[in-house]
Every structure is written in structure tokens, then in C-alpha cells.
Structure 1
Amino acid sequence: MTIKRVPTPAGDQAWLITDYDQIKTLLADRRLGRSHVDPDNAPRFIDSAVLGRPRQGTEQQENERHTWMRRMLAPSFSARNMEKLRPRVRRLADDLLDDLVRQPQPADFHEAVSFKLPVLVICELLGVPYEDRETFRRWSEAMSTLNDPRKSQEGHAHLSAYMGELVDRKKKEPGDDVITRLIEGTPSGQEETIAQLSAGLLFAGHETTVAVIDRGVMLLSLNPDQWDALSKNPSAVPNAVEEILRHRSPVSQRSDDIGMPRYAMADIEIDGTTIPSGDLVLLGIDQANRDETRFPEPTQFVPRESNPHLTFGHGPRFCLGAPLARVELTEVFTALVTRFETFGLAVDVAQLTPRTEQLVGGVAQLPVRWTAL
């Protein structure tokens, strides 16, 4: 059965969808969104400020807000602009790897590269001071905490206040960055909206990519034949990146996939079952990405010529940050396979500490060893 009622991590009920075609269709369905007419009484997904509860709004308000956001941000995050950024990302990756190899082995790749690269890039794009990284890192981790609602709300409040202060500064001292362009393209009086949107961009622009870089290092360590193949043919790195994006983390601690949360903003029928308006729907992206009809031997880590994974979504709400993430991932893994003869984990995967209390998961440290070319 591809639709069933399940409990959420917060203890409420939701509809879990697991069929690839149904998920792909629903990702493009404007009747599903992050809004609810009565958010205080809506089913909860998790006890976190991030994705925990829906926004206040109707289907029309949700789609109007989404259209405005896409119009404001799409030019800055377009594939063309991200390609222009590629040389800068490669220089940053090389600089971080230069710093890494100066450290004694084993070294923590998570701290030295995986965290720093996405943060450097998103700070430059948004116009956020990089020197504040440890401050907003602390708030980002707090707001995505799954087991402490108060800590999560406080982290969200601090990050939003920080971005509000930055928006005020940008109004007086504009720069060549995304936040300045948001200010210039938004009517006066919408500073709080810009601050909230910017906080979301800062969080999403580094947290998820950090976890995917770590995942890629783990997967290549566990599959040395794929490392060897990429070392001989670095042009195949983009295909490997898509497989990293599709694949589950080797340290995943979740017994079952919980899905991407969305709320039905109208009655929706699926396979003869009606999902009432207001109900919580979980789109099983991980399950869809393991569909054997689309991905032969789905548990295997094998770069594929065709890889229609749904990690970035589908349709009008396809992730705006996908071009940026792909540039960052492609450049860091190209740098790795062209600079090192060997590279991989210094410990067994079972010895890694998963960040089970964090929404985006990942690992706390990633000790690695290497042999430079």
C-alpha cells in the first residue's frame, strides 16, 4: 500500500505516501504546502522551530507568497549565475584542502571542509559576515534541535533577530548581495519578511549541504572502486554527486523514513483515499529514491547515467538552491579525486557519532586520512 496513516515524531497522525509517481505528482500539486488555516491546532510533524508547525494561511496566500519568493530569489540562484560562481567555489575548496593537509592525520574533515565551504559560499552570496559564522552556527543547530522545543524556538528567535539587524544595516549600507537585492525589490515595511526569508536561506544554504558532503566522503570510503573510477575519470564526478544526493547516509539511525512534511490545503484524493484539507502529508522522498523501477539495485552506490531522484523536489517548488548545491558538491569532490591518491575515513563507520538530535542529521566529526598525489 502506497498511502497509510502513521504517527509523526511529534506524536500526531499523518498520511505517508511512498510511491514514486504519486510523490512526484504531489510535489508539483499546489494544494499541498506549508500553510494551514489553523496552525495552532494543526498536526505537528516534529517538536522543532524548523518544519515543526505550518504557517498561517490559505492555499491562495501560500501560492502568492511562494510566487513572490521565487520571483525575488530565482535570478540570484539561477543555474547561469551559479556557473559563474564555480571558479570561486573551487578556489575556496582548494584553500580549505590546503589547510586540511597541514593538519596531523587523522583530521576532522567535517570541521575543516564540510562545514566551512557551504558557509563561506552562502555568506558571500547573502552578504552575511563570515566572522559571525560560529554565532549563527550555534543558533542554526539550536533551531533544528528535535528533542528540545524551547531550545529550538530560542535559536530561531536569535537567528531571526540577527538577520533583522543585518537587514537594517544593509538598508543604510547596501552591497552586491542577495539581501540587498531583496530590500531593493520589496516595498518598505516588509523588513521582518526579508529577515525571516534571509534566516531561512542562511540555514538551508549550509546545513543540508554540510551533511551531503560528509555523506559523499563516507560513501566513497565504503566504495573504493568508485573512488578509483573517479580518480581515473574526474569528468564523471557530476554523476557521482547525483548518486550521493539520492543515497541514504551510511550512519542513518532512523528505523523508518519520516518523509517531507506538507499540509493539504484542499481535499486531495489518492488511490481512492481522500486526504481531508488540513491533514498532514508526509512525502517519502527516501523511499521514492529507492524505487527499483527507476534505480536498479537501489541500495548500491553506483553513479548512474539516469538518476531522476527527487531530493530537490519537482515542479514549481523545485529547490531554488539546487544549482548552488550541485556546484559546491561537484567542485569539492573534483578537488578531492584530483588532489589525493587515497582519501577516506580513518575509522569504521560504526564509530562515527550521528547527529540524531538534529533535523538534517549528519555526523558530529568525520576523521579522515589521505595520501596526496
Structure 2
Amino acid sequence: MPAPVQLPFEQRHPMQPAPLLRELQASSPIHAIRTAVGDPAWLVTGYEEVRQLLDDDRLGRAHREPERASRTGESAMFGGPLGDFDTEQADHHRMRSLLQPHFSPKRMRALRGRVETLTANLLDDLDAAGPPADLHSALALPLPIAVICELLGVPFADRGQFRQWTQAAADTTDRARSEQGLAELFGYGQRLVARKRADGDPEADVISRLAATDGVSDDEAAAMGMFLLFAGHETTVTAIGMGTLWLLATPGQWQTLVDDPSRIDAAVEEILRAPRLGGGGIPRYARTDLEVAGVHIRAGDLVLLDTGAANHDRTVFANPDRFDLARPAVPHLTFGHGARYCIGAPLARIELQTVFAQLGARFPTLKLACAVDELTFNTNVLTGGLTALPVTW
């Protein structure tokens, strides 16, 4: 096997794949690599291999010797192992069983009307201010924050604080900043749980219901609540911004959606499949020796499941690097697969469907107000995404 290649791969253009990644992917579904901090790991890029391994209990997030484990980066949240190796699977099952009822189809359907109202209000403000505008600050950022705040029971007025903490916690290059951000976020969650216990309304919101659940400590309710706060807005902020960019920068795609609003579901799935900056793969650690596509992986090895690469596997997606609303439906792996499938996927889809349906109807002449190569991105945080998206109409 050739010598390990070094992450991150050079990406010369935000809307074009990293050439080296595509070369590797064409040669094999698994590759020996070095992470951004120089540690050895395996990068899995094939669709079938990633799909199977996402639901393989021989991989996990914990490590028997965490201090010796390879790291993907400096993030305190996802840079290294998480959890207790001996109880990881039981702990994960318990967490999902506690959270699943709060994201049931019935609860998500009930939330759709509120998402529509919040979106409409933001677009009213956008229209009133007139062009040009920054769609990132006007829509992509405030909407997911407002939605997750209402769902969890987090004061929207605190968004400036917790946004700073989530961005710091997600920093992949500065361990001290990431640890400090995570500590601040957890402390905020503890104070929030204490206030909700004092308020005495266990049905008010998700964090209140978690705090009122038998067997759930205040610290556990705070930790789960802050995890949902992070995961429930960061990724959707990125998806709205990048989705808008793909629609506007790919010839004919925005007009296709404006002319035929029935394509909204297809548009959302293509936005979720489309490539974006950041990533490198979902980190897992081998709990035992295993074989992947003929390659022997030893217990304790770091395995990165690159869902982005898998979503562009040429054996599964024709012309995978083209953004195309007419693409035949094939399940992408953006939300994972199997036992660890993203619990917030239905909420994310509701937000994206609402945003792009209303945006197309209200602003049919929307277009970028700068060249794509003038855009800037958050390259040092887990979720990546745009720092601004200038548009006009």
C-alpha cells in the first residue's frame, strides 16, 4: 500500500472536489492517511463501505486507551475519543431512547408551522431592507438558531453568547479554545437546567422534559441539551448557506426550482448530498480487528468514514460532482445510517424545505452579488460553511 497521505486535502475551489481525494477514491475505497495533527488513520471513501461501517458495532467513538488514540484534530468535541469503552453501546442506546420521543414525526409536524412563520418573518425583514444583502446573517444563521431555541427552551436573547461558545468548541486547531468553549457551553446548560427546575413546568420544552425525566441527572440533562443546541443549528446554518450557493452558482438550477416548486424535496436532498468544505470523515475507533475491502484494521485504529466522498462515489451517483435537481433519487449518507442515524434529520429537512420553498417564491430573481472565489469560509471549525453570502435581486 502506498505511503499515507496527509489531511486536509488541498481544495482549490469551494465548489470543486479536492483532486487528490478523487484520485484516491478512484483507486480504492479505503486509504492509509495521516490526520491534520499527524496521527495515523484510515479514510473510507466508498459508498457501500461507508454505509455498512456507519452501522457496524465493531466501530465506536470510545477507545480503550484514549490518551494513546489517534486524533483528527484539536476539537474537544470530536477531535478524539468520547465516552467509556466498556459501556459505550449501552450509553448510546440510552441517550437515543431519551431523545427520540422529542424528535418524533408528530412533534416535528407540529413544529413545521412555526418554522414557516419564523422563515416568513426573516424574509419580510430581508425584503424591507432591500438589496444587496448578506443572506448568511439575514437568514441562514438566525433561522436555525431561532428554531432550536424554541424547541429546546433556550432564550433566543442568549444567541450571541452560545454561538461564540459553539464556534469555539468546534475549533479544530486550538485545543485550549475548544475546551474552554465546551466548558462554557456546559456551564450555561447547567444554569439553564437549574432555572427550568425552579420554573416547575416539565412540559414546556425539550430541556425541561429531560430535566423532569426519572433517572436523568441535572448534569446529564445539561449535556444532552447543549449537544442538541450545537448539533441542532450549526449544521443547518451551513446547509442553508451552501445550498443557496449551489442553487445560485450552478447554471439553470435556481430557475428550475423557481419554475417548478414541486422539486423542493429533490432540491433539499441534492443540497444535503452536495460537497462542501470541511469534514475529512466521521471519526470511529475499531473496537476489534476487522477487514474493510481487503485491508486489515487493528483494534484501536482510527477510521474516518467520509460521507462526503461516499456521496460522490461514481459507482452510485452518475456525474457525482454536478449539482443537479433532476438527479435520480439515491439515499445519501449525510445523516448517517442505521443505529447512529441523525436524530435531528427530520427537523433539518423541514427547515431546508421551508427556506428554499419560501425563498424561491419570494425572491425569484435572487442571484449572487459577488464572484464565488471572493467568498470566505470557516475552515477551522467542524461544520465549515460560509462566513457571508452576498446576494441581490
What does 1:55-66 align with in structure 2 at a 5 Å threshold? 55-58=82-85, 60-66=86-92
* Contact 1:31 1:264 survives alignment (8 Å): yes
Distance 2:38 2:364 in 1: 48
Deviation string 1:75-117 (CA, Å, 9 cap, x unpaired) is: 1112332122111101110100111122242111101110000
Deviation string 1:229-268 (CA, Å, 9 cap, x unpaired) is: 211221211110000000013xx3x6xx621111112222
- The amino acid across from 1:287 in the alignment is A
**TM-score for both structures, normalised by structure 2:** 0.89
Q: 2:246 aligns with which of 214, 219, 225?
A: 219
Distance 1:237 1:346 in 2: 24
* Contact 1:31 1:266 survives alignment (8 Å): yes
**TM-score for both structures, normalised by structure 1:** 0.94
Does structure 1 residue 349 correspond to structure 2 residue 358? no
Would you say how many aligned residue pairs link Structure 1 and Structure 2?
A: 363
Q: Aligned residue for 1:270?
A: 292
Distance 2:100 2:143 in 1: 22
Q: Aligned residue for 2:102?
A: 76
Distance 1:36 1:278 in 2: 6
Q: CA RMSD in A?
A: 1.4
Does structure 1 residue 308 correspond to structure 2 residue 331? yes
What does 1:1-373 align with in structure 2 at a 5 Å threshold? 1-58=28-85, 60-173=86-199, 174=201, 175-187=203-215, 190-249=217-276, 252=277, 258-303=280-325, 304-370=327-393
Q: Which runs of 5+ in 2 are unaligned?
A: 1-27
The CA deviation at 1:19 is: 1.4
* Contact 1:344 1:369 survives alignment (8 Å): yes
SS of the equivalent of 1:76 reads helix
The CA deviation at 1:224 is: 4.3
Deviation string 1:141-171 (CA, Å, 9 cap, x unpaired) is: 1111122211111111100100011111112
* Contact 1:145 1:357 survives alignment (8 Å): yes
Percent of aligned pairs sharing the same letter: 46
* Contact 1:14 1:282 survives alignment (8 Å): yes
Distance 1:242 1:333 in 2: 12
Distance 1:157 1:314 in 2: 30
Distance 1:214 1:55 in 2: 30
Distance 1:66 1:186 in 2: 18
* Contact 2:79 2:172 survives alignment (8 Å): no
Q: Which runs of 5+ in 1 are unaligned?
A: none
Deviation string 1:292-343 (CA, Å, 9 cap, x unpaired) is: 2221111111123413110000011100010000000000000011112211
* Contact 1:294 1:308 survives alignment (8 Å): no
SS of the equivalent of 1:341 reads coil
- The amino acid across from 1:294 in the alignment is V
Distance 1:25 1:292 in 2: 18
